[in-house]
Chain A
């Protein structure tokens, strides 16, 4: 941000003003937008930091008391919080790793042109743009134990009827499969674009020397595209932590507590128990976890220089 400009000696006041206008005039259009961003982000952040220090339930507005670390203590000693942390990390880490590996495999498949590749790529875009709400409902329909198509398939394979969303041992895995279905195309598109940016001679070397092509891929090509990989992984991590819509439409945190992710628990505390102090403290703990995970992932992928 600009510091106060003092007129240099010998410069008159009016010239200083006009030079200031020339310097900061072009920045003026930024002002309304920056104010808007501030109001919509900084204010809620501080407000939530503030509420997190109070015992504050909207259902009991007459009884708001300062709690200090009370909410944080309550959360950190609650086994259901740690259960939620475990579930969230399982969901996020497994989904994103599977998406990265599958996305890379499919990108390598599409790397060399073949007839119809553009058409197939257009189809591959489809899962990403399906509204998560629609996808949640579609999963419920397809996995329905009575008439779902997946049940029909498992029965014809002799596996019997499997309640993928209703079985506590399978529900989280099912949500991971749904996430992988929706977001592998995202990895695929980014990695394909990244591979297409790799210099021709390295690709040629890999092609000519068939025996060493695998090593060239792991030693050189992966290194060259580490930046796009890191961006894709970071974005996927951020979004995977948010998972909410799909859970709202399918398991609602259940069966029992098998799919109680952190974002679901925050929603529960804030909008069902109306305990906004508790929910605010929860949000801060979650934000710290997201930031740490993303930073760690970037460090791992880009090396120490990141």
Chain B
């Protein structure tokens, strides 16, 4: 009925209006959803900046006058700095090892024609399915027999192993993405395969290496089960260190939240910086 009175101009206007309303509703809904997922983190960071007994108040306040007291205490009283630096060391070394070993497996898998290539790749992937709790006892006994329990090197080995399937699969994809012709040109010029790899392939896959490395870093940084069992009193990682704020007598919530914030923020920044590769990394290269 209104069709007859509708001028073309008004018709277009109402359509764009409707689209705008739709976009706006969607945006608002997405904002609410994101806030739900953000709220607990906000609460943690907020508590970390609360001083004294505010964390135990029965009427919570959403805003506080920020104090750095908890962060200071975490470093001065509990020596959380040592745990953080242990974590940083173990995580960094295992990540670098993992990239080196991973690349040396992934590159031939991506480039060299071999029999059973798919079987090797899938065998490596299948290691991902084994629950860590199922391997931890034999691994523990094995590492104990070579005298490595309590040393951070046991963790370096375990984290390298833990992240290798992911690394091999991701790097294999990144190497395969690189056009073969670029390397072949160098090979024709007389360069050895080794030289072609280091001077051409590797520099061109740096973004992929960084993305893979950051994912390894995040997984190793957050790991708890192995760290709890394989580290000694002087080699605690940050997640293990956190458990010490919980004693039968009291739980120091302000400090836990401050220490928790210190554990979470670096990996969040890391994850954001590889956002472009995040989906690819999380699916071991299956979804690009």
Contacts and interface: CB of A to CB of B under 8 A. Distances in A.
A124 B34 contact: yes
A249 B264 contact: no
A287 B134 contact: yes
15 contacts: A30-B108, A33-B168, A37-B161, A122-B275, A123-B34, A126-B264, A127-B37, A137-B245, A137-B256, A138-B43, A141-B55, A194-B287, A248-B228, A276-B141, A283-B137
A228 B287 contact: yes
B23 A114 contact: yes
A203 interface: no
Interface string B143-184: 000000000000001101100100010000000000000000
A36 B161 contact: yes
B279 interface: yes
Given A37-B127, A263-B131, A29 B239 contact: no
B271 A125 contact: yes
Nearest to A36: B101
A238 B30 contact: no
Interface string B93-137: 000000001101101110110111000100010011111111111
A80 B264 CA distance: 36
A96 interface: no
A283 B60 CA distance: 44
Contact of B27 (A115, A129, A140, A271): A115
B283 interface: yes
Interface of A: 1-2, 26-27, 29-30, 32-34, 36-37, 40-41, 43-45, 47-48, 51, 106, 109-110, 112, 114-117, 120-134, 137-142, 146-147, 149, 152, 181, 184-186, 189-190, 193-194, 197, 227-228, 231-232, 235, 238, 241-242, 244-245, 248-249, 263, 266-267, 270-271, 276, 279-280, 283-284, 286-287, 290-291, 294
Contact of A33 (B60, B101, B239, B260): B101
A109 B33 contact: yes
Interface string B229-255: 100000000110011011000010100
Given A44-B138, A142-B40, A152 B129 contact: no
Contacts of B221: 131
A242 B239 contact: no
Q: Interface majority SS on B: helix, strand, loop or mixed?
A: helix
Interface of A is mostly: helix
Contacts of A193: 279, 287-288
B186 interface: no
A128 to B, nearest CB: 8
A224 to B, nearest CB: 13
Contact of B23 (A51, A112, A132, A280): A112
Given A138-B44, A142-B43, A194-B287, 14 more contacts: A29-B107, A36-B101, A36-B160, A40-B161, A45-B135, A106-B33, A121-B275, A124-B33, A129-B222, A131-B267, A137-B245, A189-B282, A190-B282, A291-B129
B193 A26 contact: yes
B82 interface: no
Given A26-B193, A114-B30, A117-B30, A33 B164 contact: yes
Contacts of B264: 126, 129-131, 134
Nearest to B62: A149
Contact of A244 (B38, B108, B120, B133): B133
Contact of A276 (B129, B137, B160, B284): B137
B254 to A, nearest CB: 10
B12 interface: no
B167 to A, nearest CB: 10
Contacts of B218: 129
Contacts of A122: 272, 275
Given A2-B115, A109-B29, A142-B43, A132 B224 contact: yes
